[in-house]
Structure 1
Amino acid sequence: MNSIVSQIRPAVISLLLLSLLTGGLYPLVVTGIAQVAFPFQANGSLIVHDNQIRGSVLIGQDFSDPGYFWSRPSATGQHPYNAFHAASQTGSAGSNLGPLNPVLYTTIQVRIDALRVADPQATPPYPADLVTTSASGLDPHISPAAAAYQIRRVAQNRGLSEEQVQQLVLQYTEGRDFNLLGEPRVNVVRLNLALDSIE
């Protein structure tokens, strides 16, 4: 009996100590450091406009009004950019459609048709990120080419000059991280909020 107790006691003490260390102390220390060193990122990288939270720089939003820049299409069903819900196919997901899948071709054609309806002067080539979805389905950015493609439509629908809108796009175009990683990109939510602020 003493040998069983002598074996169980260290196991229980180790469990309690490790639970306290990894489940309590470590998260508190890391959270504290993050709040001090990186408060913006630690709190969700939230976009605050007119003292209201309008979104996050990390998560895209769905825009369909022709007076706004459109985001990259989401692969998460009819309810993009929402928390995961299996029945309505929301959350982060890709379409998983291969390049030879006829559904992919049909879906891309529908998106091209929507671009043409919104801007009858739209001509090929169509930026890939305006007609295809990403692996996550939650992209907050579009390419500068996708933003440039929409300048005429946005300007006409807002009664602005194309030069005004182009300057705004340039202002909100982000470069490569550390001038090395990734590609230049435009955060759609920030750009659309800036559009609203000039009217």
Structure 2
Amino acid sequence: MRLPAWLAQHLAALRALLALTLVLGVAYPLLMLAIARIPGLSGHADGSLLDRDGKVVGSALIGQSFVDDQGNPLKQYFQSRPSAAGDGYDPTSTSASNLGPENVKLLNLVCERSKAVGELEHVDGSRPYCTPGGTGAVLAVYPDRAVSVNELCPAAPFIQQYQGKPVVCAKDGEDYGDGVQTPIRGDAPANPVVPADAVTASGSGLDPHISPAYAALQVPRIAAARGLSEADVRKLVAEHTDGRALGFLGEPGVNVVELNLALDRR
């Protein structure tokens, strides 16, 4: 007996559904699970977890903040780059700040962070377009005056005059958006001592790496805090420095999480 066309089509669709369910819903996941259990791959499949004294303390793929309860850097640890993911390195809130390079808020963050890193590492934390106080050197210029928008009264502005106009401090609550926003270059070195990755977040907010330059900047502090020689600390840094992907993509990076664990083990 020949089935009606509509019933034959439904049965064919049902057979296809069952076959695809078995292949893609059962066989394929089981195959991937088996591959993930191959020695040498299982650690990556499980999240590249890191442990200390048998306790999982993180992942080699996700950065961490090494600060105390007040947010102050722990001097015995290498510091990670800033993170815009939640309260910092939150895998559930991975994100960037989405602030453009000319955004005043981003400039203030960069200036504040650079000054803080300079004080922590005892180096020059000045940057172009930053005031000595660690804020963005930005003026709102008007026909008769200029306002240092990031320096609230009664603070003294970082410069006294701009193009013959007096520079005054900003009054709390005032909006200076109608002035011509003008960043001021200042006399900071073109190549700051504090590297860019020390003051800016990664695109994901989770990157566990810092540049070798930022790691090198922290070596004297780490050595002094832990009673180690700088040569020993530099050797550990070299051991935890990853090269360029495929030998030519990207830049070398130092995995801060793995490096700090190595310091603790030592």
- Aligning the two structures, in what range does the TM-score lie when normalised by the shorter sequence? 0.7 to 0.9
Q: What residue ranges of structure 2 are gaps of 5+ in the alignment?
A: 68-73, 126-191
Q: 2:36 aligns with which of 34, 51, 54?
A: 34
Partner Cα distance (2:244, 2:238) in 1: 14
Identity %: 47
Residue of structure 2 equivalent to 1:146:
214
- Are residues 139 and 83 of structure 1, via their aligned partners in 2, closer, same or farther at CA, if it must alter by over 3 Å? closer
Matches within 5 A, 1:80-95: 80-84=88-92, 91-95=93-97
For 1:110, the aligned partner's letter is E
Q: 2:15 aligns with which of 10, 13, 16?
A: 13
Partner Cα distance (1:155, 1:122) in 2: 20
Partner Cα distance (2:195, 2:80) in 1: 12
Partner Cα distance (1:44, 1:178) in 2: 22
Which secondary structure does the structure 1 equivalent of 2:37 belong to?
helix
Report which stretch shifted further, 149-158 or 67-76: 149-158
Which secondary structure does the structure 2 equivalent of 1:36 belong to?
coil
Matches within 5 A, 1:3-152: 3-36=5-38, 38-64=41-67, 65-77=74-86, 79-84=87-92, 91-123=93-125, 124-152=192-220
Residue of structure 1 equivalent to 2:247:
179
1:2 Cα offset (Å): 2.3
- Structure with bigger helix share is 1
Partner Cα distance (1:99, 1:188) in 2: 26
- Structure with bigger strand share is 2
Report which stretch shifted further, 91-100 or 159-168: 159-168
Question: RMSD over aligned Cα, in angstroms?
Answer: 1.8
TM-score normalized by the length of structure 1: 0.87
Partner Cα distance (2:213, 2:91) in 1: 29
TM-score normalized by the length of structure 2: 0.67
Which stretches of structure 1, 4 residues or more, deviate above 4 A after TM superposition?
A: none
**CA deviation vs aligned residue, 1:3-37 (integer Å, no higher than 9, x gap):** 22111111122112212211211011012112115
Report the structure number with the largest CA radius of gyration: 2
